[in-house]
Each structure stands twice: as structure tokens, then as C-alpha cells.
A and B are shown apart, each in its own frame.
Chain A
Amino acid sequence: ETGVTQTPRHLVMGMTNKKSLKCEQHLGHNAMYWYKQSAKKPLELMFVYSLEERVENNSVPSRFSPECPNSSHLFLHLHTLQPEDSALYLCASSPAGNTEAFFGQGTRLTVV
């Protein structure tokens, strides 16, 4: 248990659906992240929020839309996804400074 909770753990959605992934941490961390983990590829940073402000988006397609309403919660809104978006989506948080990140257990997303 890392202190970072993601829901749902598994999600199957059609290409025309709209869904949201949720991440929650009560560790008092200032930064929260969304990563995509595809088979046989490195973890890809999608979005970073520091003190609730987005600081990085890495040219992620607009069909992915993040939201950080407060320092404990992070959402990833999904709409009109493609089959190649099927992956494990991981949320992480970290305190300020050069410390490690703490990961949630991820949401396994399948787009059909």
C-alpha cells in the first residue's frame, strides 16, 4: 500500500464512450502525475500538476483531459479514445524536492 489510490482498477470502454479515472492521495504531497504504461515500452509521462497547477502535458492528445480540483485528487477524463490507447494508466505523487514518487496500482484500460 503506497498511499495512492486509483479507481477503477479495470475499465473497458468503447471508442465513443466518455469515462474518467480517479486518483487520490492523502500523503500531503505537492505534485501529482499521470503516466501511461504500454507493453514493452517505458513509462510515459502524460501530465504533471504541482500545487494544483498543470506544468507539463508532453503533447498528449486532447482526447485525454486532466483535472486537479485540489492537492489530494487527480482525474483523467477520457473521450473518443482509440484502441492504441489501451494501456495501464498510473497515477503518482511526490513531495517537493528530489525525492521518489509514490505510485498507485493503476487502471488497466481496454478500448474496444
Chain B
Amino acid sequence: GQNIDQPTEMTATEGAIVQINCTYQTSGFNGLFWYQQHAGEAPTFLSYNVLDGLEEKGRFSSFLSRSKGYSYLLLKELQMKDSASYLCAVRDPSYGQNFVFGPGTRLSVLP
């Protein structure tokens, strides 16, 4: 089967650091993706990991451990505009190379 878990909601303070975790159990694995989705808008691509380790992109970093089926998205120097849902997704070759999405984590950044 395929299952991706994320916390439903998180709250953090402006200027702080927040880590959003994602665990996955999929039949196959061909990359893990993080998307940001503001309310009423399209999901937009943030990061991609296919090998173990940390990928850094400005204020955002993403980590992957394939042996543990685990990833996290790290957001530094939080800004109010970072309030959004963050979606974790796995490309699964056994699912036609399509994405399996997690339920998303709604992050609220408070002043």
C-alpha cells in the first residue's frame, strides 16, 4: 500500500525556525517532493530529494533518509507569507511514476 503522514497543523513565530516532518511507506520510490500551497492557490514546487541528505535552497532546506522513509522541510527566518499548507509527495514507480501526496501540514506564522 501507499501511505504518507504529516502533522495536520503547526504554529510558529515570525523569525523562528520550523521543521515539518513527513514519513512515507510506498511500494516504490523515485524522489520526494515538497510543495507549498497558499489558501485558494495552486501548489508550487519547493524542493526535491532523491538521494539521502540535505538539499538547501535559501531559507528552505529539505532532508531525506530513504532507509527510514523519512523527510523533513526546514524553514528558517519565518515570515508571515510562509503561512500556507506544505505538501509532501513521493513519486512511485509502482504507481506509474505518479505522485502519492500526503495530507499536507497547515503552518500558521504568528507575529
Q: Identify the A interface with B (CB < 8 A).
A: 2, 4, 33, 40-43, 45, 48, 55-56, 90, 98-106, 108
Query: What total of A-B pairs shows CB separation below 8 Å?
Result: 49
Size class of the B contact interface (CB-based, 8 Å): 20 to 34
Q: What is the bound-complex CA distance between A104 and B4, given in angstroms? A: 23
Docked complex Cα distance between A48 and B99 (Å): 11
Query: How far, in angstroms, from A99 to B104 measured CA to CA in the complex?
Result: 20
The answer to whether B98 and A105 touch across the interface, beta carbons within 8 angstroms, is no
B103 touches A105 (CB 8 A): no
CB contact list, B49-98 vs A, under 8 A:
50, 87, 89, 91, 96-98
Partner of B41, one of A4, A43, A55, A105: A105
Q: Mostly helix, strand, loop or mixed at chain A's interface?
A: loop
CB of B73 to closest CB in A, whole Å: 14
**Cα distance A100–B50 in the bound complex, in angstroms:** 12
Q: Find out whether the CB atom of B42 lies under 8 angstroms from the CB atom of A101.
A: no
Q: Which of B31, B44, B50, B96 contacts A103 (CB 8 A)?
A: B44
Contact A106 B31 (CB under 8 A): no
